Amino acid sequence: MAYAYLFKYIIIGDTGVGKSCLLLQFTDKRFQPVHDLTIGVEFGARMITIDGKQIKLQIWDTAGQESFRSITRSYYRGAAGALLVYDITRRDTFNHLTTWLEDARQHSNSNMVIMLIGNKRTQSAFPWTGIICIYSHKLTSLSAIFENVDLESRREVKKEEGEAFAREHGLIFMETSAKTASNVEEAFINTAKEIYEKIQEGVFDINNEANGIKIGPQHAATNATHAGNQGGQQAGGGCC
C-alpha cells in the first residue's frame, strides 16, 4: 500500500467516447460493453511502478454530458494529469477538443499534463456483438474480425490528425482501445511518467497538494535528503 507518490488524474471528453471504459479497463482490467452514463464523477484507483517507484494513481472519471460540465470543472484544479479522450469513429468528438482544452487550461493549474487519446469505441455500432459473445463463444472471433474490418472503414479521424492536434497544443498523443485494452496501460503510465519527469525537473511544487500530487507517507520524512540527492542525480545525468 505504501507509495512514493500519489497522482490525481481526471478523464475528460465528450459523452460516449469511452472514458468510463478506459478507467474500468485500467483499474479492473475488464471491459463492459454496456455502460451506464456517468453521473457527475466516479472514482477509481490503481498502483503503478515508474522508475522502480510505486506510484498511486487516483482517477476521477467525469461525466461528458454538457449538463455536468459545471460540476466536472471543479476537478480540474486539483488534478496533476488529464486524459482528454475523443472517439476516432466520431468526427464531432474530435472537433470539440478545442473547447475541452480551453476549459481545461482555464481551470487547471498550468503544469497539468494532458494526454490526448483517440479511443476506439467499436461496440456502439455493434450492440449485438456483446450479445453474440455471451451466447456463442464460437462467434467471438468472427465478430472480432468484423469489427477490425469495420473499424478502419468507420474511422473518421485519422491518426495523423490526432498527432497534429497534439503537436500543435503540446499534448502527448496515443490511440487506444478500451475494448482490447490496447495502449490503455500505456496511456495512464506515460502520463504518469511525464508528471514524474516534471517533478524531477522541479516544475511541480510537490508540497502543495492542490496540484494533485502527494508524496507518500514514508517518503515525506526523507524528502529533504531525497531532493538533495536528486540534484546530484540530475548533474550526473547531464554528464551522460
Partner 1 sequence: MNFLRGVMGGQSAGPQHTEAETIQKLCDRVASSTLLDDRRNAVRALKSLSKKYRLEVGIQAMEHLIHVLQTDRSDSEIIGYALDTLYNIISNDEEEEVDDVEEENSTRQSEDLGSQFTEIFIKQQENVTLLLSLLEEFDFHVRWPGVKLLTSLLKQLGPQVQQIILVSPMGVSRLMDLLADSREVIRNDGVLLLQALTRSNGAIQKIVAFENAFERLLDIISEEGNSDGGIVVEDCLILLQNLLKNNNSNQNFFKEGSYIQRMKPWFEVGDENSGWSAQKVTNLHLMLQLVRVLVSPTNPPGATSSCQKAMFQCGLLQQLCTILMATGVPADILTETINTVSEVIRGYQVNQDYFASVNAPSNPPRPAIVVLLMSMVNERQPFVLRCAVLYCFQCFLYKNQKGQGEIVSTLLPSTIDATGNSVSAGQLLCGGLFSTDSLSNWCAAVALAHALQENATQKEQLLRVQLATSIGNPPVSLLQQCTNILSQGDKIDRRGSKIQTRVGLLMLLCTWLSNCPIAVTHFLHNSANVPFLTGQIAENLGEEEQLVQGLCALLLGISIYFNDNSLESYKKEKLKQLIEKRIGKENFIEKLGFISKHELYSRASQKPQPNFPSPEYMIFDHEFTKLVKELEGVITKAIYKSSEEDKKEEEVKKTLEQHDNIVTHYKNMIREQDLQLEELKQQVSTLKCQNEQLQTAVTQQVSQIQQHKDQYNLLKIQLGKDNQHQGSYSEGAQMNGVQPEEIGRLREEIEELKNNQELLQSKLTEKDSVIENLKSSQTSGTNEQSSAIVSARDSEQVAELKQELATLKSQLNSQSVEITKLQTEKQELLQKTEVFAKSVEVQGETETVIATKTTDVEGRLSALLQETKELKNEIKALSEERTAIKEQLDSSNSTIAILQTEKDKLELEITDSKKEQDDLLVLLADQDQKILSLKNKLKDLGHPVEEEDELESGDQEDEDDESEDPGKDLDHI
Positions in the binding site for partner 1 (CB under 8 A): 1, 8, 40-45, 58, 60, 70-71, 73-75, 77-78, 107, 209-210
Provide, rounded to whole angstroms, the least separation between the CB of residue 174 and partner 1: 25
* Cα–Cα dist 76/42, whole Å: 14
Strand partners, 9: 59, 81
| Angle between helical axes of 19-28 and 184-201 (0-180°, round to 10) | 80
Provide, rounded to whole angstroms, the least separation between the CB of residue 131 and partner 1: 17
Residue carrying C-alpha cell 469489427: 147
Whose Cβ is closer to partner 1: residue 74's or residue 95's? 74
Whose Cβ is closer to partner 1: residue 72's or residue 89's? 72
Q: How many CB atoms lie within 10 A of CB 70?
A: 8
Whose Cβ is closer to partner 1: residue 71's or residue 145's? 71
* Cα–Cα dist 139/130, whole Å: 10
Whose Cβ is closer to partner 1: residue 98's or residue 208's? 208
Is the separation of the CB atoms in 57 and 196 below 8 Å? no
Provide, rounded to whole angstroms, the least separation between the CB of residue 233 and partner 1: 28
* Cα–Cα dist 157/135, whole Å: 33
Whose Cβ is closer to partner 1: residue 49's or residue 208's? 208
Provide, rounded to whole angstroms, the least separation between the CB of residue 197 and partner 1: 24
Whose Cβ is closer to partner 1: residue 80's or residue 174's? 80
Is the separation of the CB atoms in 11 and 23 below 8 Å? yes
Provide, rounded to whole angstroms, the least separation between the CB of residue 72 and partner 1: 9
Provide, rounded to whole angstroms, the least separation between the CB of residue 201 and partner 1: 24
Burial 14-44 (b: 16+ CB within 10 A, else e): bebbbbbbbbbbbbeeebebeeeebeebbeb
